[in-house]
Structure 1
Amino acid sequence: MPDFNTVTAYILAGGFGTRLRQAVPDRPKALAEILGRPYIYHLLDSLARFGLKRVVLCTGHMAEMLEQALGCEYRGMELLFSREETPLGTGGALRLALERHPAPLALCINGDSLTDADLGAYLHWFTQHGDAGAELGALLLAPVDDAARYGSVTTDTSGRVLGFVEKGQGGPGWISAGVYLLRPSCLEGIAPGQSASIEQEVFPRLAEQGALCAYRARARFLDIGTPESYSAAGRFLLGQDEQGATPQPAVFLDRDGTIIVQKHYLHDPAEVELLPGAVNGLRRMAALGLRLVLITNQSGVGRGLFTRGDVERVHGRLVELLEGHGVRLDGFYLCPHAPDEGCGCRKPLPGLIARAAAELGLAPQQSFVIGDKPCDVDLGLVVNATTFLVTTGYGARHAAAGDCRPHHVTASLNEAADIIESILAARASGVTEHT
């Protein structure tokens, strides 16, 4: 894999998001939630996988909210900020960010685009492509069936950009996926403080100079800037093109004491520790075709003990640890409220499961709920799921006290997977389930 340590990522996250106001009225687009987590963390996770060490967020509208949410570090990546005091457009914002936080090569990403392209292959192609020193920038292109909404890019056989087709012309085409590799000299034509558009001003000029190339990636692309496309973002991240017609079973999992070691008001990523049997159990459940969905109460946020950003950094560490074992959780849904706030999402109330079921296309009554506390068991009973109490965390204490009535008591997630496998096999054969 190419060395991403020499590359700085610049995320263009300063847009007003006017088209998305209907769906996300109170926060910047980068904090719009997808699968229970703010979008920006999905993007940062994808960059962390390629070994990036430095990310600059170009911010404008609601910049302070974004800076407070993210902090200065995530999964070993340094997070820096470049705030626009007045709107500068994508080109002006990027020029300002490069002036404040210089880098020899910039990986620029639109803050409202999703793609599953291999960024490592993209960087390798750019650094090896022809006379790379003469090419100041590269676009990552993705194929679409109808380019009318986006406009398309034309190239010669070597990958050099020839021109741009305006929006409105339908039919298949290759479109910019909102990911660019740029050398700083690309932006020399923009004066300090000048408003400019990368797409409409910088790229056409570079193409005329023969200094812009394009990498065609057989990858999916989604612009989440409209309510319609935003509603499809979760399915996109899960690798689904469309919502399944039939709701599917899932495993709804508690976090502390169930997947990771119980820690008092955990908020430090360094303290995240997987429980024995957790990885193998999760892997086996996923292999059975079940979605794995985290459902967690985090009242420490509502009590003022730590922030939502602290929770997301803990979840980032959990994602990192599980990825190292080839395991992925499909959603992270949390209640940040204190017990006396009267919300509808704190376990054992079913609000989080209802939300996850709607967004992922799940059938709670055919699903499984696993945790180490009575609220987890009661949550499962409320939604008519099959319930498990694991004796990790606080589970052994509650099992001994008999203060909840789960369908099954197990020593680990791996042991729970044994029972779930048997239950699914019985369902498939038409045998009535006895719990």
Structure 2
Amino acid sequence: MPGFDSVTAYILAGGFGTRLRQAVPDRPKALAEILGRPYIYHLLDALADFGLARVVLCTGHMAQMLEDSLGPSYRGMELLYSREDEPLGTGGALKLALSRHPAELALCINGDSLTDANLAEYLRWFEMRQEPGALLLVPVKDAARYGSVSTDISGRVTGFVEKGQGGPGWISAGVYLLHPSCLEAVAPGQSASIEQDVFPALAEASALCAYRAQARFLDIGTPESYASAGRFLLGDEAAGDKLSPAVFLDRDGTVIVEKHYLHDPDGVELLPGAAEGMRRMVALGLRLVLVSNQSGVGRGYFGRDAVERVHGRLIELLAAQGVRLDALYICPHAPGKDGAGEPCGCRKPLPGLIERASRELGLDPARSFVIGDKPCDVDMGLVVNATTFLVTTGYGAAHAAAGDCRPHHVAAGLSEAAGIIESILAARASSGVEHA
């Protein structure tokens, strides 16, 4: 697509997150977990799908933790960092980042908001406009919390309505396309706000336009909105209280080829029939949730960033086969310990990962299925009254031969397991007994 090579994404991830401290007390907002993964990876996945090659993270508070957690690359994108020594505001931080990592065009994203707007369409529209800068606007039923943006008939921004005025409106989704000239008025080292200083001046000079997208938006900056972020990503914010069934999948030896302490994304290899089986499970109305012990993190063999790079590659491979995991949960602890040296409650066969996923996604373990290649997977499923499968991929064949666990079913792989699940669900439907 024209223009992609000139675009660099800049994620404003330097906020203190004071409103979110109650829910996430020990890490920056960008590392708050949603659906089992740090929030920043959901943003990075969207940018990777968009086709970008370079992302700059504008960091401040807890900057080193963020850099250590992400590393130098993800899904083929180079990750760069621009740390503020003193708070500079969003405008000052972006000015600093552009001086350190220049680009012809900046795709600037607030580090505490989510939207499912089509970024490729936004960029195509902007290139045709040939304007200095643009805001991406989304509609909300009540703009009081955010403040709204007014435009003229040509799409140029004419003004900003302050927060507190309720009613429907078009608000900024925190996704901006800006040429470096937009920040010429911000002096190096100057503290400035994009929203309060830069944009009003651009609007007054008729140098700011707005793209209206019929898209969803979520600001995760408060405990209440953060609690709903998982449902937002799944697209089921309107779901009722009825709990859903799911398939809880082990990773190594079940979905991908077993490799000792896998931490290199180049080593990710889907097992034969795995994607086909998962597609069939989704077609049956089941959520797909990965639950994996990753003690290599707790043992110090590799960091959480390595796990997420592996998961990024897994997401790519599954997407190419038409499969999307709803959530990925890991236990990063060494056996018997959590990060603080206390007994761990999430390492399989303990049910902590399933219990957490069930709370966050609205799942019913007793109507669900657990599939893995080890006794710990089967035992975890039995604890939560799920229907259990031992697959004979990975270590499963040896355990099946030894008879050292008692699953409800043994299957050659996920494709065969999907066929058995289909029969189970059909029997439940015909008998009218959901848990049969």
- TM-score band w.r.t. shorter chain: over 0.9
Q: Deviations over 1:342-395 (max 9, x none)?
A: 200000101110000000000000000000000000001000000000000000
Give the Cα–Cα distance (whole angstroms) in 2 for the partners of residues 121 and 267 of structure 1.
Answer: 35
Where structure 2 has 5 or more consecutive residues not aligned to the other structure, the ranges are 338-342
2:297–2:303: 8 Å Cα contact kept in structure 1? Answer: yes
- Alignment partner of 1:138 is 2:134: yes
Letter in 1 for 2:281: M
Shift of the alpha carbon at 1:244? 2.6
Contact 1:2 1:120 in 2 (8 A): no
Supply the AA of the counterpart residue of 1:5.
D
In the alignment, which residue of structure 1 is the partner of 2:404? 403
Deviations 1:171-210 (A, max 9, x none): 1000000000000000010111000000001000000110
Residue 23 (str. 1) matches residue 23 (str. 2): yes
- Alignment of structure 1 residues 1-12 onto 2, 5 Å: 1-12=1-12
1:363 match: 364
Q: Does 1:63 align with 2:63?
A: yes
**Which amino acid counterpart does residue 365 of structure 1 have in structure 2?**
A
For residue 191 of structure 1, what is the amino acid of its counterpart? A
After TM superposition, give the deviation of residue 323 of structure 1 in Å.
1.0
Aligned residue among 171, 187, 212 for 2:208 = 212
Distance 1:2 1:322, change over 3 A: farther
Alignment check: 8 A CA contact 2:257 2:394 kept: yes
Does the C-alpha gap of structure 1 residues 204 and 381 become closer, same or farther in structure 2, counting only changes over 3 Å?
A: same
Partner of 1:100: 100
What's 2:232 paired with? 236
Superposed CA deviations along residues 262-318 of structure 1, whole A, max 9, x for unmatched, are: 000000000000000100001110111110000000011111111111101101110
Structure 2 Cα separation of the partners of residues 404 and 434 of structure 1: 22
The yes-or-no answer on 1:75 pairing with 2:75 is yes
Q: Contact between 2:13 and 2:58, CA under 8 Å: does it hold in 1?
A: yes
Aligned to 2:118: 118
Quickly say closer, same or farther: Cα 1:432–1:181, change in 2 above 3 A. closer
Query: Structure 1 unaligned runs (5+)?
Result: none
Q: Structure 1 residues 233, 277: closer, same or farther in 2, change over 3 A? A: same
1:4 to partner: Cα distance: 2.2
Distance in 1 between residues matched to 2:240 and 2:346, nearest whole Å: 25
- Amino acid paired to 1:96: L
Percentage of identical aligned residues: 79
1:233-272 pair list within 5 angstroms? 233-272=229-268
Conservation of the 8 A alpha-carbon contact between 2:428 and 2:435: no
Q: TM-score, normalised by structure 1?
A: 0.98
The 2-side partners of 1:116 and 1:371 are apart by: 33
Q: Are 1:267 and 1:311, in contact at CA under 8 Å, matched by a contact in 2?
A: yes
Distance 1:83 1:316 in 2: 25
316-325 vs 38-47, which deviates more?
316-325
Task: State the match for 2:85 in structure 1.
Answer: 85
SS of structure 2 residue aligned to 1:65: helix
Question: 1:5·1:51 contact (CA, 8 Å) conserved in 2?
Answer: no
Contact 1:2 / 1:123 at 8 angstroms: preserved in 2?
Answer: no
Question: Displacement, 1:426?
Answer: 1.1
Matches of 2:149 and 2:322 in 1, distance apart?
Answer: 36
- Partners of 2:367 and 2:434 within 8 A in 1: no
Distance in 2 of aligned mates of 1:198 and 1:434: 54
Deviation at 1:3, TM superposition (A): 4.3
Question: What pairs with 1:330-409 in structure 2 (closer than 5 Å)?
Answer: 330-341=326-337, 342-409=343-410
Runs of 4+ deviating beyond 6 Å: none
1:6 shift after superposition: 1.9
Does 1:194 pair with 2:190?
Answer: yes
Q: Secondary structure at the match of 2:353?
A: helix
Contact kept? 1:138, 1:215, Cα under 8 Å:
yes
| 1:122 counterpart letter in structure 2 | Y
Normalising to structure 2: TM-score of the pair? 0.97
Secondary structure at 1:340 match in 2: coil
Partner residue of 1:172? 168
Partners in 1 of 2:433 and 2:227 — Cα distance? 37
Q: Distance in 1 between matches of 2:157 and 2:293?
A: 50
Q: Report the 3-state secondary structure (helix = DSSP H, G, I; strand = E; otherwise coil) of the residue aligned with 1:429.
A: helix
Q: Distance in 1 between matches of 2:422 and 2:32?
A: 36
Supply the AA of the counterpart residue of 1:24. V
Q: CA separation in 1, counterparts of 2:432 and 2:227?
A: 37
Task: Return the alpha-carbon distance in structure 2 between the equivalents of residues 74 and 372 of structure 1.
Answer: 28
Give the Cα–Cα distance (whole angstroms) in 1 for the partners of residues 233 and 118 of structure 2: 14
Secondary structure at the residue paired with 2:41? helix
SS at match of 1:49: helix
Of 244-253 and 57-66, deviating more is 244-253
SS of the aligned residue for 2:50 comes to coil
Matched residue of 2:95: which SS? helix
> Match of 1:154, SS?
strand
User: Which string of whole-angstrom CA distances, capped at 9 and with x for unpartnered residues, describes residues 97-124 of structure 1?
Assistant: 0000000000000000000000000000
Given residue 213 of structure 2, which amino acid in structure 1 is its aligned partner?
A: A
Which amino acid in structure 1 is aligned with residue 298 of structure 2?
G
Residue 326 of structure 1: CA displacement? 1.6
Separation in 1 of the partners of 2:407 and 2:433?
19
For each residue in 1:41-96, what CA deviation from the matched residue of structure 2 results, as whole angstroms up to 9, or x when unmatched? 00000000011000000000000000001000000000000000000000000000
Aligned residue identity for 2:166: G
Distance, in Å, in 1 between the alignment partners of 2:345 and 2:109 is: 36
Give the Cα separation in 1 of the matches to 2:29 and 2:433: 47
Q: Which whole-Å CA distance do the structure 2 matches of 1:271 and 1:108 have between them?
A: 33
Aligned residue for 1:257, secondary structure, equals coil
